[in-house]
């Protein structure tokens, strides 16, 4: 019998996470915590149990796993705050990988990271904690992805790219080999990056 897990956040990204968990069979989803949705509303059949104030009680009741199902559109700091709160409460945050993703056997993946359907992560890559490698994105060999990064759907990182903490690589963006993307940098959708990007820079 699979361990129970609570999801934090009930928006669109939550649906993607639910699908990955159900198809992998890795956990039984106990419910969703979300302050913006009415209690007892459902997301793909999973019930909203309440807001974040229920989390400590759930841990006491034996639900020891939690997962952040809030996405990010350029502000990865929101997920960082949720992560820190869950760790302070005492939850364990597993890695969730959709069964249709491809991840090389030597890839190192930090806790709380999500790898969506169709994503590819090639050998020699290291991924930090609470990262989103989103739908059909591609991370090639020997990349280094920091904590709380979002690689958006369809984004492509060539080999040897380094991405700093809390950076956002936009939908369909491309980063050529061996470049460095700074901390909290924002790469707009659909562009090709051919130079290093500074911390907190917006590339468009």
CA 98, CA 158: separation in Å to the nearest integer? 22
Q: Number of structural domains, the chain?
A: 2
pLDDT at 74 over 90: no
Q: What is the pLDDT of residue 111?
A: 98
CATH number at residue 44: 3.40.50.20
Within a 10 A sphere around the Cβ of 195, how many other Cβ atoms? 10
Domain holding 78, by residue range, is 4-94
Q: What is the pLDDT of residue 77?
A: 82
**Domain edge (last residue) among 94, 128, 156:** 94
pLDDT at 166 over 90: yes
**Domain edge (last residue) among 71, 94, 117:** 94
Residues 128 and 168 in one domain: yes
Overall average pLDDT of the 118-144 stretch: 98
Residues 133 and 195 in one domain: yes
Residues 46 and 82 in one domain: yes
Condensed to tens digits (0 to 9), the pLDDT of residues 35-66 reads 999 999 999 999 999 999 999 999 999 999 99
Among the listed residues 13, 141, 150, 168, the single catalytic one is 141
Residues 133 and 66 in one domain: no
Q: How confident is the prediction for the chain on average, in pLDDT?
A: 96
Q: What is the pLDDT of residue 103?
A: 98
Residues 87 and 107 in one domain: no
Q: Are 33 and 55 in contact (CB under 8 A)?
A: yes
**Domain edge (last residue) among 55, 73, 94:** 94
> Is 141 annotated in the active site?
yes
Residues 185 and 162 in one domain: yes
**DSSP calls for 133-152:** E-TT-EE-TT-EE-TT-EE-
Residues 78 and 171 in one domain: no
Q: What are phi and psi of 11, to 5 degrees?
A: -85, -155
Band (pLDDT 50/70/90 cuts) for residue 135 is: very high
């Amino acid at each position: 019998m699979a361990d129970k897990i609570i999801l934090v956040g009930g928006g669109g990204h939550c649906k993607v996470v639910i699908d990955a968990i159900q198809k992998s069979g890795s956990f039984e989803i106990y419910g969703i915590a979300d302050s913006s949705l009415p209690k007892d509303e459902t997301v793909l059949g999973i019930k909203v149990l309440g807001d974040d104030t229920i989390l400590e009680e759930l841990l006491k009741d034996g639900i020891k796993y939690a997962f952040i199902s809030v996405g990010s559109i350029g502000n990865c700091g929101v997920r960082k705050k949720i992560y820190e709160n869950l760790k302070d409460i005492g939850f364990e945050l597993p890695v969730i990988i959709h069964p249709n993703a491809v991840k090389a056997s030597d890839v190192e993946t930090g806790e709380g990271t999500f790898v969506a359907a169709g994503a590819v992560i090639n050998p020699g890559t290291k991924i930090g904690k609470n990262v989103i490698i989103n739908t059909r994105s591609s991370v090639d060999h020997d990349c280094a992805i920091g904590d709380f990064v979002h690689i958006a759907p369809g984004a492509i990182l060539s080999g040897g790219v380094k991405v700093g903490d809390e950076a956002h690589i936009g939908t369909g963006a491309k980063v050529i080999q061996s470049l460095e993307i700074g901390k909290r940098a924002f790469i707009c959708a659909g562009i090709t990056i051919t130079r290093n990007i500074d911390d907190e820079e917006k590339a468009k």
